[in-house]
Amino acid sequence: MVELAAIGYALLSLFVFPGFASLFTVSLLTEWFVRKTVAHMQNRMGPTYVGPIGVLQPFADFFKLLLVKRYIEQKYSSPLLAVVAAGIGIGALTAGLMLFPISPLRLVAAYDIIVFIYLLILWPFISLILTSIAWPNPFVIGGVSRAVALAIVTEPTIVASVLVPMNLIARRYSDVTPYSVYHTSIAVSRLWTDVSVGVVRYVVTLIILIVAIIAMIIATQSKVMLKPFDIPEAEQELIAGYATEFSGPIYAFFRLFHDMKIAVLIIAIVYLFLGGPAPFNHLSVGGVITLIVKYIVIAFIITAIRGAFGRFRIDQAMTKIIKYALVPSIIALIISLVI
């Protein structure tokens, strides 16, 4: 009976909420939000035609690419490899959501930060590379080289930033399971409010948490290759970089994978740094509204950066990430180990 219930929860979490169906919807709505907001910043209209204020445009784009458009196979391409690679990325992102308290089936383990890195950092990156090289092209190679170069500084930044609240919680609250995504998401709100640790420690905690959030947002911007870090797909010199040869359903899944990465990384920021629905719980109106507001705020910051900046050259992008994200996150990480 217990096993049946567990299987039911697993299927619900994997396919419905927060799994494939919900993540699909949220990620495409996020794409609409990004496109519409950037359009307003640039004095354009953005998506308008499909659905009220164009909200269904990304859905129409996806289904048109999947159902109507056809993919063109070139001499050296492997469509199945591209779909499998994109599918692994989508699967890893979907499964990764079960580490967070938003899932009806919560997968919890001490030190499950390793699984977080495996599912949400490692696999999406490998998937991107594999999907790209399934359709080889000089522009793709150029784009992938740049993506790998960016990853050298982006991925350590994400890990260092995420470890900051985890370190603080592991050192400060012995009743909390250490380095667990679920428990960190629940306990992180205590870091923002717990003044009993002393004024100096409290202020330092706030500062390093804010530094870690800023670093994480910059790293997210770079990981999902939004401006100013979209040099791997710079259209003026690389056509579309790693996505040059994609067409039809392959491109539909690739875009979906990209949008899901944005959505999951925003959810990770909302939970690991801002405590998800805190100070409310998940099953209250206040909790749901708080969660949505936090999600939209982080999405808006990422969108505003995307709309406000021009593209950096690859060396400029790496230098900026090192200076404003990697080094501050490592300093915050070291401080989190000693306070």
Partner 1 sequence: MALTLILDPISLLLLSSLFTAIVLVLVIVMFRAAGKKEERVTEDTIVMYIGGEHESILSLRFPSSDALYWAVLKRVFKGVYRYLVNAMHTGHTLDWLKYMSMWYGFLMVLAILITLFAIVYGWR
Question: Footprint of partner 1 on residues 203-232 (CB under 8 A)?
Answer: none
- Whichever of 234 and 299 has its CB closer to partner 1, that residue is 234
DSSP state of 55: T
Place of tokens 């494939």: 20
User: How many Cα neighbours within 13 Å face the side chain of 185?
Assistant: 27
Dihedrals φ, ψ of 180, to 5°? Answer: -105, 135
Per CB under 8 A, which region of 49-57, 75-83, 160-168, 219-227 contacts partner 1?
Answer: 75-83
- Whichever of 33 and 246 has its CB closer to partner 1, that residue is 246
Question: Considering only residues 162-181, where is the footprint of partner 1 by CB under 8 A?
Answer: none
Structure tokens at 128: 């991107």
277 binds partner 1 (CB under 8 A): no
314 binds partner 1 (CB under 8 A): yes
315 binds partner 1 (CB under 8 A): yes
Using CB under 8 A, pick the residue from 55, 60, 66, 214 that binds partner 1: 66
Per CB under 8 A, which region of 88-96, 161-169, 222-230, 302-310 contacts partner 1?
Answer: 88-96
Per CB under 8 A, which region of 26-34, 85-93, 267-275, 299-307 contacts partner 1?
Answer: 85-93
Using CB under 8 A, pick the residue from 32, 125, 182, 312 that binds partner 1: 182
137 binds partner 1 (CB under 8 A): yes
198 binds partner 1 (CB under 8 A): no
288 binds partner 1 (CB under 8 A): no
User: Residues with Cβ < 8 Å from 46, sequence gap 6 or more?
Assistant: 35, 36, 37, 38, 39, 40, 54
95 binds partner 1 (CB under 8 A): yes
CA distances from 162 to 111, 123, 158, 191, 212 (A): 13, 17, 6, 14, 7
CA distances from 132 to 22, 84, 156, 226, 251 (A): 26, 12, 22, 17, 11
Give the C-alpha separation, 126 to 147, whole Å: 11
Using CB under 8 A, pick the residue from 28, 90, 215, 265 that binds partner 1: 90
71 binds partner 1 (CB under 8 A): yes
Do 261 and 269 form a contact (C-beta atoms < 8 A)? Answer: no
Do 312 and 145 form a contact (C-beta atoms < 8 A)? Answer: no
Structure tokens at 28: 């495409």
Do 97 and 103 form a contact (C-beta atoms < 8 A)? Answer: yes
- Whichever of 14 and 208 has its CB closer to partner 1, that residue is 14
Q: How far is CA 207 from the centre of its chain?
A: 23
- Whichever of 33 and 182 has its CB closer to partner 1, that residue is 182
- State the number of binding residues for partner 1 (CB under 8 A): 75
- Whichever of 193 and 284 has its CB closer to partner 1, that residue is 284
Give least dist CB 159 to partner 1, A.
Answer: 16
Give least dist CB 301 to partner 1, A.
Answer: 26
DSSP string, 147-164: HHHHHHHHHHHHHHHHHH
Question: Considering only residues 100-119, where is the footprint of partner 1 by CB under 8 A?
Answer: 101, 103-112, 114-115, 118-119
Per CB under 8 A, which region of 199-207, 211-219, 270-278, 311-319 contacts partner 1?
Answer: 311-319
Give the count of beta carbons closer than 10 Å to the beta carbon of residue 80.
9
Amino acid 168 reads L
- Whichever of 33 and 62 has its CB closer to partner 1, that residue is 62
158 binds partner 1 (CB under 8 A): no
Place of tokens 């999902």: 224
Question: Considering only residues 2-41, where is the footprint of partner 1 by CB under 8 A?
Answer: 5-6, 9-10, 14-15, 19-20
